[in-house]
Structure 1
């Protein structure tokens, strides 16, 4: 899945909310196609930083440049070429829907709202074939094999194992062919073997050109590491994933 990734830089980036700093003093330099690991304990502002760098939250201090777009001024521009995955309260999967239903719904939304007007005017057969190709390519890139699921594409989300649900969320984000993929809580409740496999999958995406940003408790070797661990004297607040996603609504949609 070859995609032209984006460079990501930040200097003194910070976000302050009603209860204090979510994160502060973030410096980052990453080339296009980099694998960026946002490392820190839960509640240290990792999700807020992910949402800020994808244009879903507005930083209150410092600056960042993502794919040539300046933050916090050009939030909409960054949202157009970035996609979040596995973010609680923002990209939640519907447990009652099947894997196939999720994929078809996302492909339809992409066709209606993400493609050009010219693409919408193509013959129906071409649009259907393009949607099928997008889905197959995204699944392969995310490492999700529909045929290996208990009921194939008819498997309900509630019946997925955690690694499979993670891969589905990533695949849904990849249908839009983002230049920046941002994955929250990558290693949450994964075994050591599952964690290694998840990082390997994201590494292959980055190697193919997509810039990947992933929130984790411990960054792997070879990743561009960004820490949200607060300094002892730094005034920070504990921010839950819900608080972070509530705040994102003030700046834009997923």
Structure 2
């Protein structure tokens, strides 16, 4: 199956001002479809807010930006429908008490109910077994793209999230986001608390996701050499991060989990 067609990401003097001042400002970007875009900067420099703004979950206050030709903030809802988030604390948190399989089933159900256009009558008339098989194929595709091998986990799909290694949890979060076959995937805190070897593996994974067609926008402290790099400021707005994630959670509640 062909992958999704990735989205271009462009920005000029893009900024967002919050109650405590500028969260980020003067951001420029120019990335082709299927690019790996690294949002590089220290913690508290507006990295997460920029990620949320470029995926249509936060309203910018200055400058110009467009995702797939859709202008922000005017076409925020359209950008949200074409994008997904992974590994964003306070927005896409994994439940440590649930198993990997339970997370996958829950997300598949959410996608079925909220994540796409209404099924055509012809689709509704198809046998339930055929629809279930297509759903399993979608889950398998997402797991493969995210590099998460259920058979390698301690209890396979019955492994609880609390028992996952840090990189395995990141892979699960990616798989859940990829179930919707987004054209733009936003990943927060990509290299947080990872060893050098783990960082190399994760960047290789995200690069492989772009090779399926999806544009990847990843927050990090240090960008890889082969990424399109967008740099944020000096880390003066750490307390704005919670406000941003709260706003993003509200937006996600309106559109279904993405």
Q: TM-score range by the shorter chain?
A: over 0.9
Deviations 1:85-118 (A, max 9, x none): 0000000001111000000111111122223322
The alpha-carbon deviation at position 170 of structure 1 amounts to 0.3
Contact kept in structure 2, 1:87 and 1:184, CA below 8 Å? yes
> Where does residue 237 of structure 1 map in the other structure?
237
Deviation at 1:53, TM superposition (A): 0.3
Contact 1:26 1:226 in 2 (8 A): yes
Cα 1:120/1:191, change in 2 over 3 Å:
farther
The 3 A distance-change label for structure 1 pair 166 and 250 is closer
The structure 1 residue matched to 2:223, chosen from 213, 219, 223, is: 219
2:82 counterpart residue number: 81
Partner of 1:150: 154
Gaps of at least 5 residues in structure 2 are none
- Alignment length, in residue pairs? 250
Structure 1: 5+ residue runs without aligned partners?
none
In the alignment, which residue of structure 2 is the partner of 1:117? 119
For the Cα contact (< 8 Å) 2:46–2:238, is it kept in 1? yes
Looking at structure 2, the residues matched to 16 and 250 of structure 1 have their Cα atoms a distance apart, in angstroms, of: 19
Q: Distance in 2 between matches of 1:145 and 1:177?
A: 19
Note the C-alpha offset of 1:79: 0.4
Q: Secondary structure at the match of 1:65?
A: strand
TM-score normalised by structure 2 residue count: 0.93
Residue 180 of structure 1: CA displacement?
Answer: 0.2
Question: Cα RMSD over matched residues?
Answer: 1.6
Determine the structure 1 residue equivalent to 2:192.
188
2:248 counterpart residue number: 248
Q: 1:95 to 1:252 in 2, by over 3 A?
A: closer
1:18 match: 19
Q: Which 10-residue stretch deviates more, 46-55 or 199-208?
A: 199-208
- 2:179 is the counterpart of 1:179: no
Find out whether 1:138 has 2:128 as its counterpart: no
SS at match of 1:41: coil
Q: Distance in 2 between matches of 1:120 and 1:43?
A: 47
Confirm or deny: 8 A CA contact 1:88 1:241 kept in the other structure: no
- Structure 2 CA distance for aligned equivalents of residues 240 and 39 of structure 1: 17
Shift of 1:162: 0.5
CA separation of 1:120 and 1:14: change in aligned 2, threshold 3 A = farther
